[in-house]
Homo-oligomer: A and B are copies of this chain.
Amino acid sequence: MAVNLAPPRADSLLSISGVRLGVAEAGIRKQGRRDLLVVDIAHGSRVAGVFTRNRYCAAPVTVCREHLADKLPVRALVVNTGVANAGTGEAGLANARASCAAVAGALGTEARSVLPFSTGVIMEHLPVDRLVAAVPAAVADLRADGWADAAAAIMTTDTVPKAVSRQVVIDERTVTVTGIAKGAGMIQPDMATMLGLIATDAAVAETTLRDMVRFVADRSFNVVTVDGDTSTNDSFVLVATCTAGNPEIVGEGTAEFTRLAECVLEVAQILSQAIVRDGEGATKFMTILVEGGKTREECVRVGKAIAHSPLVKTAFFASDPNLGRILCAVGNANIADLDPAKVTLHLGDVLVAEKGGRAPGYTEAQGKAVMAPAEITVRVGLGRGIENATVWTCDSRTTT
């Protein structure tokens, strides 16, 4: 069912010097599948992350935030699938900490140097004994070329593993970026969690890496939407192992920052778009460009108003060029001084609405032609400024 989404070719995934990945079968929810991932991160690496804004955040998210705030170097990640360890109260926190302690023991580091991640069913307790028992096997499996297996290990309702690598030359050094992600189904929200892990061998200062993870998240994982719900477990972590030999990148304003950030962003966008393409029930992939805003934030708001509208999503499923639904969503985006007379709407390259109404030359046949393919671009001009933003989403089915 995934929309134009192929699994990554195994030989396309590039190792990141300083990162080793190992998987094991812990039997957390199902027997006979590799559901535990341990990532070993070499000394000297920097790690930054962004996490769900849901107030009911999962126990591992709370523990990640604590451990990152500690400022101890992060030396490992532990990721399980099957149980999200969310809505589990104090016991959940203890289980997340026990997972960290088990990995720390096996790797000879401290529990507070380990970041935990969980994805799977909500409000069930993590069978932490089974997880802990499988840690030695995952550690024994650690290898630099473990990315493809890692991508498979973190899947829940995903039908296709999500992983990609890119390279860029910075200060005459080739820098590599490799990432994996898993996404949220539309209808199976027990499993609705986005996890993203991207690593690079580039040298980046710690505060700069924190700026970069936010810059990238705001243009990738934070602007894709399948069902509109922010899960309790959403996490995106960026690791820089600083082994590529480039001069350390310090500060957001530099050309080197931009080069690396664009490469990381490309990886993050491919991964986050893959989550949308794999959205449960998705038959179409929609790119929503919003231009001419006063701020990027209001452009994102308009894009998400369109992407979250069940009426728009079902119209796209039905290949129905329902302009009213899109304009209605624009009008609902809470821009108090929006002037509908200045708003323009394109479906693909076809101008369909302007001046508060249907464009004079537009015919429904043109609209239907644009809506038929599996990849559709909607472009909204707000006529208020020079900012823009892009949001990606999928359609959703109707039953009538």
Q: Which residues does A use to contact B, with CB under 8 Å? A: 53-57, 84, 86-92, 121-123, 186-190, 192, 227-232, 280-281, 308-311, 314-315, 322-325, 327-333, 335-336, 338, 340-341, 343, 353, 355-358, 396-400
State the CA gap A122–B386 with chains docked (Å).
29
Contact A353 B87 (CB under 8 A): yes
Q: Which residues of B sit under 8 angstroms from A398, Cβ to Cβ?
A: 187
The 6 A-B residue pairs whose C-beta atoms are closest, nearest first, are: A122-B324, A56-B331, A89-B357, A54-B331, A189-B311, A55-B331
Q: Which residues of B contact A309 (CB under 8 A)?
A: 228-229
Whether B324 contacts A86 by the Cβ 8 Å rule is: yes
Given contacts A187-B314, A189-B322, contact A56 B330 (CB under 8 A): yes
Which residues of B lie under 8 Å from residue A231 when comparing CB positions? 328
A328 touches B91 (CB 8 A): no
B87 touches A55 (CB 8 A): no
With A and B bound together, what is the CA distance between A335 and B356 in angstroms? 35
Given A229-B311, A309-B229, A310-B310, answer yes or no on A328-B400 (Cβ-Cβ < 8 Å). Answer: no
In the complex, the chain B residue whose C-beta lies closest to that of A308 is B228
Bound complex: CA of A123 vs CA of B363, how far in Å?
12
Q: B280 contacts A190, CB within 8 Å?
A: no
How close is A398's CB to chain B, nearest CB, in angstroms? Answer: 5
Q: For residue A92, which residues in chain B have a CB less than 8 angstroms away from its CB?
A: 356-357
Across the interface, name the chain B residue whose C-beta is closest to A331: B56
Known interface pairs A322-B189, A328-B54, A338-B55; A229-B123 also in contact (CB < 8 Å): no
A351 CB to closest chain B CB (Å) equals 14
14 residue pairs from A and B, CB less than 8 Å apart: A55-B333, A55-B340, A56-B328, A56-B331, A56-B356, A87-B324, A89-B355, A123-B327, A123-B357, A190-B324, A230-B328, A232-B331, A281-B399, A397-B399
A57 is contacted by which of B55, B331, B399 (Cβ under 8 Å)? B331
A322 to B314, CA, bound (A): 24
Contact B88 A357 (CB under 8 A): yes
